[in-house]
Amino acid sequence: MLESAIFFRLFAMTLSADQILALAPDAASAKAGSAQSGAAKWSGLGGHAQALWGLCQGSGKEPYRAQIDLAGPSFKCTCPSRKFPCKHGLGLYLLYARDAQAFTDTTAPAWVNDWLQSRAQRSEQKAAKVELATPEDAAAKEQRQQKTQDKRASSVEGGLAILDIWLADLAQSGLAGLRSKPAQDWEAMAARLVDTQAGGLAARLRRAGMRIYASSSSGWETAVARELAQIALLSQSYRRLTTLPALLQQDVKSAIGWTVNQDDVLLAPGVQDHWQVFGNHTDLDARIGRRACYLRGRATGRWAMLLQFSAGGQALPPPLLPGAVYQGTLHFYPGAAPLRVVFGSDVQMTPATSMPHSETRDTGTLLTGYAEALAANPFLEAFPMQFDGAVPQFDAGRWSLRSAAGALIPLQDGFRHGWQLLAVAGGAPANVFGVWDGIALLPLSIACGARLYILDGAP
């Protein structure tokens, strides 16, 4: 019992209060969660190596049951909140971080055990479904998928035909007059692409439109021309899909908006390692929420990206915490320069966390790695990079990093936290992680000394 209790404390204390608050879906939830972290608000507090639980009295007759699966961490609460995690889950975790001794009960109640067992059963069923598929099942599934894909291909081709005419009209009019055209034209074309199941192209088209109407900086014409060129190249590549290498075909389809079933990805061999989280990039709009979580294998040195989605006003799942380490197998989606992954059933967050750190590489080596990935997949939108020993600076109205070797790395015009970056570093070298788009870097986290600061979603 003593050994179990010690493990429980070591495991759960790997998350500090700042890391727990980083799990909040928004600033309001973080504030509300802090308000729920007082011991007086809770009863029935308990925990063991796998979970935390407690009862929090709300406005109803019965207290809310909040519980946390530490392996995720994953949350569940009986309150009616649509935010995830809710303020009660955050408050419970914050209370443990501050006062672990208050969690005296190590025997989980039935409602906690039932939840943990149901999660374990779903995981086992998913693994069994992948492992026990017969050749006949696989053949039947492939036939159904092919029929669906043929129908979708016809729809996508119709959308691309309309897109080509629209792009030709833009080219004839020229970029200089784009701001005189109504923004509704861009939204109407993007909506048409969504209707023809080319959602990836629709997202790129909306992004190009945002650069025109939402940007106050000069030079927007170059960025828009680059986006439109990528869109036109994708349209033409799709028409020549069968002439491309097999893995590049997957990249083109993915950029257009095709998806690959996770079960199919899990069937492919995975890569086992200790995967450290370097940072997250969250993109929210009225239609869908998207978060890219970036990890790097300690032994393999391989980058990986886990995507999280939400729709219909729902909150995104909790992000992966920068600095945390996940041990297990990641399965990569097929592609010429594979980056996106799905977690295998054996992935667990390990007790230890540390500052994200990659082996020291000069800027030229990092850019060469990007160039190689871009040569394999010309439609690569963002590539993870960490600059160790970089100094943030502001000069001539532009933010940049000065690498250890003296090279200047420009930061994206849309980066809103330049002064925070400068204040954290204080003029000293720091480890800055971000994503490179071929022109500039978008910083997502900075490690300075023994502290890690998360820039994604920072106020």
DSSP state of 428: S
Give 9's pLDDT tier (boundaries 50, 70, 90): very low
H or E stretch covering 129? helix 110-131
pLDDT at 6: 35
Residue 230 tokens, joined: 């990528």
Lowest mean pLDDT among 43-47, 126-130, 187-191, 289-293: 126-130
Question: CA-to-CA distance for 356 and 432, rounded, in angstroms?
Answer: 9
pTM of the model: 0.76
d(CA 450, CA 458): 19
User: CA 449, CA 355: separation in Å to the nearest integer?
Assistant: 9
Question: Could you please report the per-residue DSSP string of 83-104?
Answer: SSS-HHHHHHHHHHHH-GGG--
Residue 248 token pair: 């590049």
Candidate from 28-32, 125-129, 250-254 with smallest mean pLDDT: 125-129
Distance (Å) of CA 428 to CA 390, 401, 422: 8, 11, 9
Closest C-alpha among 423, 339, 422, 355 to residue 388: 355
Name the burial class of residue 365, with classes exposed (0-12), middle (13-18) and buried (19+) by CB atoms within 10 angstroms of its CB.
exposed
- Paired sense of beta strands 340-343 and 303-311, if any: parallel
At residue 287, the 3 state secondary structure works out as coil
Tokens at residue 342, please?
Answer: 């799905």
The token pair that represents 61 in the structure block: 């007759």
Residue-wise pLDDT tens digits, 255-309:
998 888 888 899 889 999 999 999 999 987 656 788 999 999 999 999 999 999 8
Q: Are 326 and 278 in contact (CB under 8 A)?
A: no
pLDDT bin (cut points 50, 70, 90) of residue 55 is very high
Is a pLDDT exceeding 80 seen at residue 357? no
pLDDT at residue 369 greater than cutoff 80: yes
Say if residue 10's pLDDT is above 70: no
Locate tokens 């071929």: which residue? 438
Q: What percent of the chain has pLDDT over 70?
A: 88
Q: Does residue 317 sit in helix, strand or coil?
A: coil
pLDDT band at 216 (very low <50, low <70, confident <90, very high): low
- Give pLDDT, residue 373: 95
Handedness of CA 362, 368, 371, 372 (dihedral sign): negative
Closest by CA to 189, choosing from 171, 211, 205, 207, is: 205
The overall average pLDDT reported for the chain is 85
Between 177 and 132, the higher pLDDT residue = 177
pLDDT band at 184 (very low <50, low <70, confident <90, very high): confident
Question: Could you tell me which residues come within 8 angstroms of residue 306 by beta carbon, excluding any fewer than 6 positions away?
Answer: 292, 293, 295, 320, 340, 341, 342, 343
Note the pLDDT of residue 391.
94
| Residue 192 confidence class, pLDDT cut points 50, 70, 90 | very high
- The structure tokens listed for 87 are 């303020």
Contacts (Cβ under 8 Å, ≥6 apart) of 254: 200, 260, 333, 335
Could you tell me which of 71, 58, 82 has the C-alpha nearest to residue 15? 71
Q: What is the rounded CA–CA span in Å between residue 135 and residue 363?
A: 48
- pLDDT tens figures, 372-390: 999 999 999 999 999 999 9
Of the given ranges (34-38, 155-159, 181-185, 304-308), which has the lowest mean pLDDT? 181-185
State yes or no: pLDDT of 169 exceeds 70: yes
3-state secondary structure 130-162: HHCCCHHHHHHHHHHHHHHHHHHHHHHHHHHHH
Other C-beta atoms closer than 10 Å to the C-beta of 90 total 30
Q: How confident is the model at residue 12 (pLDDT cuts 50, 70, 90)?
A: very low
What three-state secondary structure class fits 23?
coil
- pLDDT (mean) for 121-143: 67
pLDDT band at 83 (very low <50, low <70, confident <90, very high): confident
| Predicted local confidence at residue 406, as pLDDT | 87
- Per-residue pLDDT band for 53 (boundaries 50, 70, 90) equals very high
Four-residue CA torsion sign, 90, 94, 97, 103: negative
Among 225, 258, 242, 246, which Cα is nearest to 159's?
258
